Homo-oligomer: A and B are copies of this chain.
Amino acid sequence: MAEKKPLKQYLMIPGPTPIPTRILAAMNHEMIGHRGPGFSKILGEVIEGLKWAYQTKNDVMVYPCSGTGGMETAVVNTLSAGDKALFVNIGNFGERWIKIAKVYGVDVIDLKVERGKACDPKTLEAELAKDKKKEYKAVFMQQNETSTGVINDVKALAQVVQKSHPDALIEVDAVSGLLAADLKTDDWGLDVVVSGSQKAFMVPPGLAAVSMSAEAWKAYESSKLPKHYWDIKNQKKFADKGQTYTTPPESIIFGMHEALKMIQEEGMENILKRHETNKNIVRSGVRAVGCRLLADDSCASPAVTAIFPPEGIDGEKVRSEMRRFGFELAPGQSDLKGKIFRIGHLGYVDYMELVATIGALELLFNELGTKVEIGKGVKAALAEIK
């Protein structure tokens, strides 16, 4: 059986997530004039829906790009060359933000945390205390670090920044975290928040959103980094008339429009609970089949889990062999390549698909010679569905 081409695909990567047929159907739509009233109405509703998801009254602008484009937008619109900025770096996407900032000549302070751990608020507090002249213009952090499956306590980290450096901006990459875990943009005082369509929004990739607080707009005015495509004041000028500066990715926007309806119908509490349960299913299931987890329970991501396979089995081998059963898993990145594999469980991912994933891992690990009692993993996984 396992040698045959699988009948179905199970996309268990941390984005793009599977797309509900209702969203695919909404995208199956003719193009309309993007400078006409019909499009303006849809775009306006998308922006309102995004504000709901962000829990904000701040401006939210959208761009035709991937999440990384949103991260670049945050940097170039709030800083100047030579500005000091602190980067909470808990994984590959922390590294990416640092790389972007360095390209533009930002004076980067890299607060690197051991992989698999979140940033302890006390660690951030101590690091900020070193900056006695209060020179840091901004603190950048991931809400959820996709590469390690670790979630930061953004609320606690933001409080530390506000206490120590009240004038510093707080800029959050919420690309893989938004809607998987709670993020209160306004209540927590987050100045710039970046998200992407292909994550818990359940929409194909191609659209990023960026929110800007009043303080972030103030920083824009003094920011001297070169910007054109990412220029957010220009984007806002067009947003104010129901348009985007450049031609918008209409299909993705039609999909986002439907997705935001679905999301609001489900409700924030239900969405967050669903992702929490996904996390528990995966963690209990893979532990029961002899895997070790990269992240502690205390900082475990509700969006993606990074897993060490049983002793002697390569992470990339798990990925390639799981394809025989129809499962597409994610690789380890950078130093973790081959050491781990990752299961994405954000967006349009069902409890039972995750149970099935554990079942396939049981079959595979037995094939590969580990003695796993068949059924033990799925039993542990099922027990998490309450």
A-to-B contact residues, CB < 8 Å: 9, 11, 13, 15-19, 24-25, 27-36, 64-69, 72, 99-100, 103-105, 196, 198, 204-206, 225-229, 245-252, 255, 323, 328, 330-331
Contact = CB atoms under 8 A, between A and B. Distances in A.
A323 B104 CA distance: 46
A121 B28 CA distance: 45
A229 B11 contact: no
A28 B27 contact: yes
Contacts of A35: 13, 330-331
A383 to B, nearest CB: 29
Contacts of A248: 66, 205
A64 B33 contact: no
Contact of A31 (B19, B64, B105, B247): B19
Given A31-B18, A99-B228, A251 B72 contact: no
Given A204-B251, A252-B251, A68 B32 contact: no
A36 B248 CA distance: 28
B64 A228 contact: no
A338 to B, nearest CB: 14
Contact of A64 (B17, B65, B105): B65
Contact of A72 (B29, B228, B250, B323): B228
A68 B246 contact: yes
B15 A32 contact: no
Contacts of A198: 31, 247
A9 B32 CA distance: 8
A105 B19 CA distance: 43
Nearest to A245: B68
Contacts of A32: 9, 11, 328
B229 A69 contact: yes
Given A11-B30, A66-B249, A205-B247, 19 more contacts: A11-B31, A11-B32, A13-B35, A19-B31, A24-B28, A24-B29, A27-B28, A35-B330, A64-B66, A65-B65, A65-B246, A66-B247, A69-B229, A100-B229, A103-B227, A204-B251, A205-B249, A205-B250, A206-B249
B65 A204 contact: no
Contacts of A251: 27, 204, 206, 251-252, 255
Given A103-B227, A228-B100, A249 B246 contact: no
B328 A33 contact: yes
B36 A16 contact: no
A112 B123 CA distance: 57
A65 B65 CA distance: 5
B249 A249 contact: yes
Contacts of A64: 64-66, 69, 205-206
| Most B-side CB within 10 Å, residue of A225, A250, A255 | A250
B11 A206 contact: no
Given A35-B330, A103-B228, A226-B226, A249 B204 contact: yes
Contact of A250 (B34, B204, B247): B204
A28 B28 contact: yes
B247 A196 contact: yes
A384 to B, nearest CB: 25
